[in-house]
Amino acid sequence: MTNATDSHDDPAAGVKAQSVLLTVLGRYVLGRDVLVGTSSVLDVLTSVGVGEHATRSALDRMVKRGLLTKHRHGRRTYVGLTSRAEAILQDGHVRIWRTGAVESSWDGTWTLLSFSFPDSWQKQRHELRARLQWAGFGSLQGGLWISPSTRDVADVLDDVEGSDKVRVFYSRAESGMDVPAMLRDAWDIAGIADRYAQFLDRWNDPGSRAGGALATQLVLVTEWLEVIRQDPRLPLEHLPADWPAAPAQRLFRALHDQLDPVARMEAGERLDLRATNSEA
């Protein structure tokens, strides 16, 4: 494992200020009914390699986008989570700790989603495609998208203009169909595998990091979430035999658990947390 400040000079070579900030909020604010002092957040992100300007800009953007609320207590500024931010952070928690990176119990069912919008509906088409990609759907052709397993797409289509024109089906592939070839058509299989391989290369040597256990764990979790968010968890039986998701997940969890006791102690000492209902 390389030094956090060596391989992550700009901040963290692969992670952005907002990504690390979301990791901090998801680990130490989500579900605790607390606010966190911005000065302490600046301190923690500096140890990761994120500059003060980048962190302040990320905080301001998140307030403007309705992800954070801002509060003043004396001379100190605190931020808290909105319901929208809580939903995003909870989704990340589920992906890391519940669903995991490997789909080994697939029942053979596919969710097919089709839509056809007028040519003038470019904005609506772009929004729907972005939501489908975020949810792990792959594009087979034109307006036909596919996802493994039986998916409830209500959240994906919520508030999307033209959702009444979307059709959803559940189906199974014909026995002679070349499913691996279909996966390669709908998803960048090589790209997904490469992201796992890069994660393994980056974290496989558990050397010391100058930023300490907390900074190391924050970068670890941030990078891992970015990898699995881009993985639709395709059926393991139709992927190459050397698919790297399982060894990458084992490495992530082992390093996370190794760092966790000291990282939590550091967080308790460095993060300024305040109950949301406390008096000024």
Judged against a pLDDT cut of 90, whether residue 65 lies above it is answered with yes
How high is the pLDDT of residue 149?
A: 84
Residue labelled with tokens 């993985």: 231
How high is the pLDDT of residue 119?
A: 84
pTM, 2 dp? 0.87
Judged against a pLDDT cut of 60, whether residue 188 lies above it is answered with yes
Judged against a pLDDT cut of 80, whether residue 15 lies above it is answered with no
Q: Over range 199-227, report the average pLDDT.
A: 87
Q: How confident is the model at residue 206 (pLDDT cuts 50, 70, 90)?
A: low
Q: Over range 203-223, report the average pLDDT.
A: 84
Considering the chain, what percentage of its residues have pLDDT values greater than 90?
A: 69
Per-residue pLDDT of 230-264, as tens digits, reads: 999 999 999 999 999 999 999 999 999 999 999 99
**Alpha carbons 123 and 89: distance in angstroms, whole number:** 26
Average pLDDT, the chain: 89
Per-residue pLDDT of 97-144, as tens digits, reads: 998 899 888 899 999 999 988 888 888 888 899 989 888 899 988 889
